[in-house]
Amino acid sequence: MSSFATTTTDHLIRSQLWSSKLKEMFLEDLIGMKWVDMIEDFPDGDLINIPSIGQAEVFDYAENRPVTYTAFDTGNYQFTISNYKGSALYITNKFKQDSFYAEKLVSKFVPNMYRALAKQMEVDMLKVGPANQTASNPNNINGAAHRFVGSGTSETIALKDFALAKYSLEMAAVPMTNLVAIVDPSVEYSIKTLGLGVYDANPTWERVMKEDLVTGSRFAFSIFGFDVYVSLNLPSYNETITGPGGSRTAAAGKANLFFSATGDALPFVGLVREQPHIDSEYNKDFQREEYVTTCRYGFGLYRPEALVTIITDTDAVS
């Protein structure tokens, strides 16, 4: 009698099975670009000068005495298109002939490269603010710190830090509308572990969500007027700052950003000189199709007084 069983006919059974599905990495939400004041009048070159003026002065006047004339204080802000980025992939003829996945891979090339460049733009945008502040320094403006380490346990975030960020912006005459905080997931965790009692008992928390509100833009909740968004792309800083409350050290720190998203108060400016675009060609020497995507852009910290950076430790999450 003939029999067909896996123990006796293993040569008739494929030893490896491959799915037609490709597993792709999870991709984080990109949120930063909507808070950049894009420069419109920059048609050519890679450097633009933006003049600034101060406020008029007031003097004491006495009858029949000469008037005191003063000139406006002026300044100049220089913005440079400093980033030229690219992403490139290829697929060989042999791979296209032999691989079951060739067609699916080629269909992923363009969106994958666009996504890589979009993430790089987000990373560069989020780091431009802290990078243009003075490291290990409170960056005082009108007597208020614009860079400090979180005052919570083990240098995590505390409610006091939100209040201090708002105070610092108020002292710099920044509009108290459309306040935004972009924080690391470890900060979101620290806020949630403060306990629901804080949510209920503290009347100064404005519109705090007792349940997570997760949208495509990763809005979490609102605290002291700051709409809090979560990003995985904030820059890392390990530094000691002597500021409000004394000297504190963040050994595994993330730079969380607090600012007003109101019109001309936006702290960030930017320009995309070359939008991401793709070029492709066949390389006969290497017998392969090549795909290249490039873009050119720049970001700058236009209003240092309109940005507060709070550095918090990430190693306290437990």
Q: Can you give 23-64 as a three-state secondary structure string?
A: CCCCCCCCCHHHHCEECCCCCCCCEEEEEEECCCCCCCCCCC
Q: How confident is the model at residue 9, as a pLDDT?
A: 44
Note the maximum CA span of the chain.
Answer: 128
**SS3 state of residue 91:** strand
Does residue 199 carry a pLDDT above 60?
no
Assess contact for 75 and 49: CB atoms under 8 A: no
From edge to edge, which strands make up the β-sheet containing 288-301? Answer: 37-38, 268-283, 288-301, 83-92
Residues 241, 308 contacting (CB under 8 angstroms): no
Averaged pLDDT, 248-263: 93
Residue 76 above 70 pLDDT?
Answer: yes
- For the four alpha carbons of 244, 170, 174 and 230, in that order, the dihedral sign comes to positive
- CATH architecture of the domain 24-47+82-318 equals Alpha-Beta Complex (3.90)
Average pLDDT over residues 81-88: 91
Q: Which residue has the higher pLDDT, 22 or 315?
A: 315
pLDDT, tens only, 161-196 = 999 999 999 999 999 999 999 999 999 888 888 754
Amino acid 14: pLDDT: 52
Please state, in angstroms and as integers, the Cα–Cα distance from residue 47 to each residue in 22, 81, 269, 298, 304, following that order.
44, 7, 13, 10, 19
What SS3 state is found at 165? helix
Residue 216 pLDDT greater than 70, yes or no:
no
Reported as a pLDDT band with limits 50, 70 and 90, residue 285 is very high
Mean pLDDT across the stretch 126-136? 95
Euclidean distance between CA atoms 39 and 190, whole angstroms = 37
**Banded model confidence at residue 20, pLDDT cuts 50, 70, 90:** low
Q: Can you tell me whether residue 109 is helix, strand or coil? A: helix
